[in-house]
Amino acid sequence: MLGIGVISVSLPMVAKGQNAEDLIAKGDVYYARLQASESLKYYLPAEKLDPNNTSLLVHISREYRHLMSDATSSDEKCKLGHAAMSYAKRAVALSPNDPEAQLAVAISCGKLEPFGTNREKFDSVSIIKGAADKVIRLDPSNDLAWHILGLWHENLAEVNGVQRAMAQMVYGKLPDSTYDQAAQCFQKAISLDPSRLMHYIELGKLYAKMGRNDEARHLISTGLGMQNTEKDDAETKRQGRELLAQLH
């Protein structure tokens, strides 16, 4: 058994002579099926054999984020999120110019942000932006980086003047942003990968906040009609259906 935080993964017996490549190949089967616990049974022993494999560390980070989505308590989610962030940081330390490693940091930090202290929330603003910007510099066609940047702009646009003044007194000045900047990022994400339903639903949710209800309904309905392919698609659709019901 290997325990990390509140989770415990039962590891398979590793056959004598079995190498990291074999274990990774077995883990990849479950990775593709979005079966995080099963993939980690192979990825974690592989990581012991090949601790400097950037791609493997990125994959492990994603699997901990997926377990985080399934966790029921805030304590569980927080510990799993920190595990995801730890592996993402290791990947970036090894390969700072790997866009997938930088993306893992941006996503993991975003997942952890709701559970952080005020100081950690403030610090996450620059961590997420820095990592997302680097992904886009390294791989301008990465739709997920544009999506993260859209969420970043949207969240900052919602910080009011009082909150900004309080943050500045304690931590420093927050960057300015607008819903229009967020919308441009989500639109770019859709243009790069029109098969991801989350791009449509997130843009639809944003348009609803902007009072562009007809466009919001169209985008959310489009996303709801698409096939689930990502771990969080079911939850994204649930949020979309809730909002769509309010817009009618």
Q: What is the CATH number of the domain that holds 57?
A: 1.25.40.10
Asked if residue 3 belongs to a domain, the reply is yes
Q: What angle do CA 13, 90, 49 make, to 5 degrees?
A: 25
* First CA to last CA distance, the chain: 51
Residue 225 is assigned to a structural domain of this protein: no
The verdict on residue 159 lying in a domain is: no
pTM (predicted TM-score)? 0.91
Cβ–Cβ < 8 Å for 215, 176:
no
- Residue 121 burial class via C-beta count within 10 angstroms: exposed 0-12, middle 13-18, buried 19 and up: middle
CA 124 from centroid of its chain's CA atoms: 13
Query: For residue 54, is it within any domain?
Result: yes
Instruction: Please give the chain's pLDDT, 248 residues, in tens.
Output: 344 444 555 555 555 568 999 999 999 999 999 999 999 999 999 999 999 999 999 999 999 999 999 999 999 999 999 999 999 999 999 999 999 999 999 999 999 999 999 999 999 999 999 999 999 999 999 999 999 999 999 999 999 998 889 888 888 989 999 999 999 999 999 999 999 999 999 999 999 999 999 999 999 999 999 999 999 999 999 999 999 999 97
Q: Does residue 158 sit in helix, strand or coil?
A: coil
Residue 147 lies in a domain: no
Q: Is residue 93 part of a domain?
A: yes
Q: What is the pLDDT, as a whole number, of residue 5?
A: 41
- Residue 97 belongs to domain spanning: 1-117
Tally of structural domains, the chain: 1
Residue 152 lies in a domain: no
CA nearest neighbour of 125 among 164, 162, 175, 165: 175
pLDDT at residue 106, rounded to an integer? 98
Of 32, 83, 38, nearest to 61 by C-alpha is: 83
Q: Is residue 9 in some structural domain?
A: yes
Give 205's Cβ-side CA count (13 Å radius). Answer: 22
